[in-house]
Structures are given as structure tokens and as C-alpha cells.
Amino acid sequence: MSRSAHPAGPRHADVLPEGRPGGSVPPGDLNTLDPRVWPRTAHRAEDGAVRLGGLDLRRFAEEFGTPAYVLDEEDFRARCRAWREAFGPDADVFYAGKAFLSRAVVRWLREEGLNLDVCSAGELATALDAGMPAERVALHGNNKSGAEIERAVRAGVGRIVLDSFQEIVRVADVAARLGVRQPVQIRATVGVEAHTHEFIATAHEDQKFGLALSDGQAAEAVRRVLGLDSLELLGIHSHIGSQIFDLAGFEVSARRVVGLLREIRDEHGVELPEIDLGGGLGIAYTPDDDPRAPADIAKALREIVARECEAAGLAVPRLSVEPGRAIVGPTAVTLYEVGTVKELEGLRTYVSVDGGMSDNIRTALYDAEYTVALVSRSSSAEPMLSRVVGKHCESGDIVVRDAFLPADLAPGDLIAVPATGAYCRSMASNYNHALRPPVVAVRDGRGRVIVRRETEEDLLRLDVG
Ligand SMILES: *Cc1c(COP(=O)(O)O)cnc(C)c1O
């Protein structure tokens, strides 16, 4: 079954096609900050400059420099609470740490009652160091090392999500050696691949993650896990994609996961107590994106699971979800200073900023779409079709492919790209020996560095000559 309107292939437009998000910005409206795309506390003050967390971004730049990720702490916490409340006490919300993780974030999650997904020893170390109780941590990954498994089992993580037959044995051996019974889930690939507005449901899975339902691998994994005393099988896990708006993919996924639970009951006489439907819920990168509220998502997912369980004659298991992007993505903007403005007659204007693909790889990697706004002042100049590019030695170094900025934009102006909280700092690189920008949490008119800017000393320290 396919709901595909058109394939979700990358778009490499040479000229701005009509109806593109960048193209839909009405002229004269460039000073408006769309609340779907900007963090909750963002607003343009009377003097024309944008405030975030009560802090003037011009003052922010003086104090913390550019480029920088500016994270709205109030917005982050509010989103955590919205997810937590939407799913209620008989479900768990695991924040996917890979979207962006730091010790401050771990503390906020802990305080707001969320759990945490990690997928490496580094993320686990961050979680534990910042005081997340191990039983609220889940370990993911398709190739966890022996050391990572041992670290997680020793720490007492609440679940390890098993991803292969080899891993079943590895985790069981470590747990047996340490004399513990490790809670686990099995990651099933359910034959659903979902992206944004369409999903594809197939019988077969061609991907590195999980164990396929269709050819009986997931059922075989269940058999093996149930036969091992050092593993406690909590349930089945499924994660179907990213930046998803259409919940229909989750419906197919839930139906197939519950189908497996029913088979397990019939074959083994056990009803597994948990299912996890993963993350992947979409956010608004541009005003054209229209994500569902957590309350709607929770209601829909619960209903699907309840209905499928009723049909299968199963008690409704405890549900968990794993939003990463949907929590942190909208809470941050990247603040840049404009360095050069180069007009290509009849084409577009290239606006070069003091960062680029080293702080936001998503545009180059996924052809991701972003918006951008002048934030150090307002402007009533004509809209100018712009491409915001970085300073790296690479022509694909694009931050915002097509957007309108005011025609009087000049070197020294500050511009900000919203919705960069997820998968930007966490995927940042040192390409061209760029120094990775800081993450500064803003709140109540003040900024607090939560991840500091890299220094040349940091770079040289790794280079041992
Ligand atoms: C990446 C990932 C997530 C989070 O995805 P988002 O798109 O950030 O919500 C959740 N669960 C698993 C297993 C993942 O790999």
C-alpha cells in the first residue's frame, strides 16, 4: 500500500518554483515571526530587534558571539510538559537524546518527568552524569559495542532495545555474568517507512535497523529472548521514520506490532506488558508545515493501540513514545552575523554568514527547508530572494536554500534561522576546523551557556602532533 503523492526525493531547484515555502512569503511581511516556526518567547520589539527568552538578540551577540544556538528554555520545558500531560501517567515519553543532548537538557527532562533514549556510550555518560536515574534510560543502536552494553547493564538502564540476533546473545551474556536480569525490548521492523506527508507500507524491510516482522525474524527473536534467563522481555519496539505529520503510518505500525503481541500470546502464553511506537513526529520548519499537537497525537495513538488490542483480545500494554525533534527542534534558533552580500543579477542574492554546514548539515544532507529573518532590526525594504550560505570551502554549503530577506541587508546585520534545535548541534562538525558554536539557554532576559563555544585550544588538544 502506498499513500505517496509523489516520491520524497531531493529537490535541487535552480530557480525558485512557485509555491515553494520560500516563495510563499508575502512581500512586506518580512518582519513577522511566524509562531509555528519560531520559539515560543520570540517576538520583535518596538525597536525592531528580536527578543528571545526576554533577551535582545543584539545584546546576546555582544555577550556570547555568533554563530550561536539560542535555546528557549521555557519553550523546551513547556513542550516536555505538553508531551508528558498528553500521554498521561500510564504511558512514558522518552526524549530521543540524539536530537540534542547536554547535561542541562538532562536536568530539564528529569524535572519535567520525561525519560531518555540514548544510542551511544557518550550519550549514556551524559545522561548518568547529569543525574538521570538509569531506570529511566533506554539504550538503542544497531551495533552497540560490548563496552556500551556492559556500561548500560552495570548502570541498570531501564531497557535495552535489542536490534539483532547477535545482540540478544551479547546482552544476555553480559547480564548473566553480572548476575542481573536485564529488561529488554525487541526492535521490530514493521514494513512501514514514513516521511512527512506520506508513508509506504510494504511487506519487506530493507534497512539496517531491527528485526523484520514479515519474514518471522522478530518472532524468532522473541523465542530466543524468552528462552534466556538473564533477559526480561518487556515488549516490542517500532520506529518508522522522521518528520512525520500523517499518523496513518503509526496506525499500520501499531496494528502490526499488536499482531505480533497476539502471536506471542498464542505461541508462548505470555502477554508482553509494553509497546513502544518510537519517535519521528514532525515539526514546522516553514509556515507550510502543520504539525499536530501532542494531545492530538497521544489521543490518536492511544485509540489505535486500544482498538487493535481489543480486536486481538489483549490487555492494553503500557505505551511509550520517543519524540526528539518534536521537543527540541522548535525551541532553538541559530544566530549568525552577515559577512558578505553578493547579488547575482537576475538569479538571487548570496548571503554569507559566519557559520554554515558545520553547524547545520541538514540542508546539505537532506535538502532540508528553513526560513530566516533579519533579527537585529526591522526593515521596510523590498523582499530580496536570497540564499543563505556558510563560509566553508564547499559549494553545497547552504543553510537556507531559498528565502526572502530585506533588500537593504548589509554586512554586520544579524539573521536567525529558526527550528534548529534538533540535529544541528548534535550533528555539528569541525569541517575546515570550524569551532562548533555554543548552545545558550535564554530565559527571563538572561542567557546561560549550556554548551560552550569550541576554542582553537580544544581543536589543538586533540591533535597530538
Ligand atoms: C531518531 C529516533 C527517535 C527520534 O526521532 P525524532 O525524529 O527526533 O522524533 C526515536 N526513536 C528512535 C529509535 C530513533 O532512532
Our answer on whether the CB atom of 281 is closer than 6 Å to any ligand 1 atom is yes
CA 224 – ligand 1 centroid, Å: 26
Tell which one of 92, 93, 117, 253 to mutate to probe ligand 1, the residue whose CB is within 8 A of the most ligand atoms.
117
**What is residue 25's predicted lDDT score, i.e. its pLDDT?**
52
Our answer on whether the CB atom of 326 is closer than 6 Å to any ligand 1 atom is yes
**What is residue 15's predicted lDDT score, i.e. its pLDDT?**
45
From 80, 309, 393, 424, the catalytic residue: 393
Q: Where are the strands (E) in 97-255, listed by range? A: 115-118, 137-139, 159-162, 182-189, 192-196, 198-201, 211-212, 231-237, 241-244
H-type helices in 314-422, by residue range? 325-328, 362-366
Tell which one of 83, 209, 242 to mutate to probe ligand 1, the residue whose CB is within 8 A of the most ligand atoms.
242
Closest residue by CA, ligand 1 atom 7: 280
CA 138 – ligand 1 centroid, Å: 12
Our answer on whether the CB atom of 325 is closer than 6 Å to any ligand 1 atom is yes
pLDDT, tens digit, 9 for 90 and up, residues 230-282: 999 999 999 999 999 999 999 999 999 999 999 999 999 999 999 999 999 99
Our answer on whether the CB atom of 278 is closer than 6 Å to any ligand 1 atom is yes
pLDDT, tens digit, 9 for 90 and up, residues 85-143: 999 999 999 999 999 999 999 999 999 999 999 999 999 999 999 999 999 999 999 99
Please give the Cα distance from 222 to 260 (Å, whole number): 10
**What is residue 20's predicted lDDT score, i.e. its pLDDT?**
46
C-alpha cell at 204: 519487506
14: pLDDT confidence band, cut at 50, 70 and 90? Answer: very low
27: pLDDT confidence band, cut at 50, 70 and 90? Answer: low
Tell me the chain's radius of gyration from C-alpha atoms. Answer: 23
Our answer on whether the CB atom of 99 is closer than 6 Å to any ligand 1 atom is yes
CA 29 – ligand 1 centroid, Å: 35
Whether 13 has a pLDDT exceeding 90, the answer reads: no
Please give the Cα distance from 11 to 70 (Å, whole number): 29
CA 322 – ligand 1 centroid, Å: 6
457: pLDDT confidence band, cut at 50, 70 and 90? Answer: very high
**What is residue 29's predicted lDDT score, i.e. its pLDDT?**
83
Please give the Cα distance from 118 to 99 (Å, whole number): 10
Tell which one of 79, 98, 101, 186 to mutate to probe ligand 1, the residue whose CB is within 8 A of the most ligand atoms.
98
Question: Looking at residue 236, what DSSP letter applies?
Answer: E
Give the 3-state DSSP-derived string for 48-85, with helices as H, strands as E and coil as C.
Answer: CCEEECCEEHHHHHHHHCCCEEEEEHHHHHHHHHHHHH
CA 323 – ligand 1 centroid, Å: 6
DSSP run (H or E) holding 319? strand 318-321
Our answer on whether the CB atom of 140 is closer than 6 Å to any ligand 1 atom is yes
Q: Which amino acid is at 151?
A: R
Closest residue by CA, ligand 1 atom 15: 239
**Residue 249: burial class (beta carbons within 10 Å; 0-12, 13-18, 19+):** buried
Our answer on whether the CB atom of 324 is closer than 6 Å to any ligand 1 atom is yes
Mean predicted confidence (pLDDT) in 340-356: 96
393 noted as active-site residue? yes
Our answer on whether the CB atom of 279 is closer than 6 Å to any ligand 1 atom is yes
CATH number of 43-72+330-461: 2.40.37.10
Whether 8 has a pLDDT exceeding 90, the answer reads: no
Mean predicted confidence (pLDDT) in 20-45: 80
Q: Domain ranges for the chain, please list them.
A: 43-72+330-461, 140-323
- What percentage of the chain has pLDDT greater than the value 90? 90
DSSP run (H or E) holding 169? helix 165-178
Mean predicted confidence (pLDDT) in 217-225: 98
Whole-model pTM above 0.75? yes
DSSP run (H or E) holding 265? helix 248-268
CATH 3.30.70.2740 assigned to domain 140-323? The reply is: no
